[in-house]
Structure 1
């Protein structure tokens, strides 16, 4: 890795740790309060810390994500230092970088404006360009071994397809809102949910395309598979962290959402760990 790209990765670590640490520990000693949103609904805002103007529900999600991202950032720092020692580390490194970009995107576009906004934007920019530089280099220079190319990972391709299709779960919130004209559930003080856009417009087609490429034994399929599996693992861990933080705040998650949005993603993440370990043995 070129030194300037390595320095960019270390900057990403610093920015992620700052954002996550402030999100978890910074407090203004405020208390929750209620406001009326643009849809005429009364919603409860968190009222404290950097997320004081976000809904109580969203603050729990953000804090849970922040807790996990501190450990992900530290792992990313270690991988930045050792990625040159083995090819498999390079793919894990990019997969974790994808999760950091996803994190920064959600912060930049998905929460109420706060004093960390410049950090969010800088982290978003740094992680976006780092992915462009590192992934393009990985796709162009690293070759697939003959041993790996001889193997046909049909099961892994099907799993990646299923994982990408899991983002369709968001349609249960989008379609009723579109048909009735009513605001989406948990929309709070926001106008839209960037997670829906990222998952349906980017994650879904990327996973479907990777699954097809891997099934056809295309080189790009072999290269993207460990990246996407690593990203899926981080999402599974993040979902667990979000749920634990919400539970600690007294937020009760309906059983259908617990099964469809929490347990399902956690199971996908667990399976992704197993498949990724098996897949990376060939690198």
Structure 2
């Protein structure tokens, strides 16, 4: 292996993330198919029907169907991608290092959502473990990329303007969509809960998107247009993260639609369209990278 090979700690972290997430996602898809139909009364006086069976039996139908859709993508896409990324990164491939960083980002976002949003279940400690392991894996993988040599390796074929345009659009779309759902209820008397709060205490996904994902996308777009080395890295990681997450969201929408959950036409059209665009951008990014000219730092 040459200088860009994934470090031993990154390899251990990726292996543990893969094993634990395999167990958690499998459990989410296989623990029960029938249960008692129940409802929960929220603090706002609303009645929310619960999923009623399996690992997500105490969650609302909407959140449970989203979790099932997420588990399908974790098993079918994210875990194989993690294995491929680790394989390439251990052989010193820059593409592998970027894929590994972005995939760690997917697992952190996903299992932070499970740890903070999903109703307490037997896999809570597994969710926390995957969240923690993937966070440290993300940091290690990110720090292993040599920014001074990443930008020259990507130019001039890197789809910078197209990627920046997508990131600006994604940041604006997410911001407008979530604030549009939240803001109206804040000014009503009495204050009304936003759609999707169900029987939970706060909006975890919206907090992550508005507080981290959307600002990061906007910053990455600006850095990319300025041809900053950090822009190439951050945009690459975000595009991969968005690729996996939008695939998961598309799966969620299908599950929710089948379960009779009300979904706006904007969401039904927007997310699959963004999914197609981000897959195209990811492929274009990976094809633009010159492996020979882009060695990274010595692993620690």
Q: What's the TM-score once normalised by structure 2's chain length?
A: 0.87
Report what 1:83 is aligned to. 89
Report what 1:156 is aligned to. 163
Report what 1:35 is aligned to. 40
Report what 1:170 is aligned to. 178
Q: Is the 8 A contact 2:20 2:130 kept in 1?
A: yes
Deviation of 1:48 (Å): 0.8
Report what 2:282 is aligned to. 276
* Distance 1:147-1:170 versus aligned 2 partners, 3 A rule: closer
Q: Deviations over 1:83-120 (max 9, x none)?
A: 24421222122212211111101000011111111001
Residue 190 of structure 1: SS of its match in structure 2?
Answer: coil
- The structure 1 residue matched to 2:260, chosen from 251, 258, 264, is 251
Residue 35 of structure 1: SS of its match in structure 2?
Answer: strand
Q: Deviations over 1:131-188 (max 9, x none)?
A: 1111122255753326616978223212211112221111121101211211111211
- The structure 2 residue matched to 1:111, chosen from 112, 118, 138, is 118
Q: What's the TM-score once normalised by structure 1's chain length?
A: 0.92
Alignment of 1:65-84 (within 5 A): 65-71=70-76, 72-84=78-90
* Distance 1:253-1:128 versus aligned 2 partners, 3 A rule: same
Q: Is the 8 A contact 2:7 2:90 kept in 1?
A: no
Residue 40 of structure 2: SS of its match in structure 1?
Answer: strand
Moved more, 21-30 or 34-43: 21-30
Q: Is the 8 A contact 2:44 2:193 kept in 1?
A: yes
* Distance 1:38-1:140 versus aligned 2 partners, 3 A rule: same
Specify every segment of 5 or more residues in structure 1 that has no aligned partner in the other structure, as ranges. none
CA–CA separation in structure 2 for the residues paired with 1:191 and 1:225? 32
Report what 1:120 is aligned to. 127
CA–CA separation in structure 2 for the residues paired with 1:238 and 1:208? 22
Alignment of 1:196-275 (within 5 A): 196-248=206-258, 250-254=259-263, 257=264, 259-275=265-281
CA–CA separation in structure 2 for the residues paired with 1:74 and 1:274? 19
Q: Is the 8 A contact 1:139 1:223 kept in 2?
A: no
Deviation of 1:78 (Å): 2.4
CA–CA separation in structure 1 for the residues paired with 2:200 and 2:187? 19
Residue 134 of structure 2: SS of its match in structure 1?
Answer: helix
Deviation of 1:189 (Å): 1.1
CA–CA separation in structure 2 for the residues paired with 1:239 and 1:198? 15
Bigger RCO (CA 8 Å, 6+ sep): 2
Specify every segment of 5 or more residues in structure 2 that has no aligned partner in the other structure, as ranges. 1-5, 290-300
Q: Is the 8 A contact 1:57 1:251 kept in 2?
A: no
Q: Is the 8 A contact 1:154 1:215 kept in 2?
A: yes
* Distance 1:202-1:104 versus aligned 2 partners, 3 A rule: same
Residue 288 of structure 2: SS of its match in structure 1?
Answer: coil
CA–CA separation in structure 2 for the residues paired with 1:150 and 1:271? 17
CA–CA separation in structure 2 for the residues paired with 1:123 and 1:130? 10
**Structure 1 residue runs of 4+, over 6 Å off?**
none
Over aligned residues, Cα RMSD in angstroms? 1.9
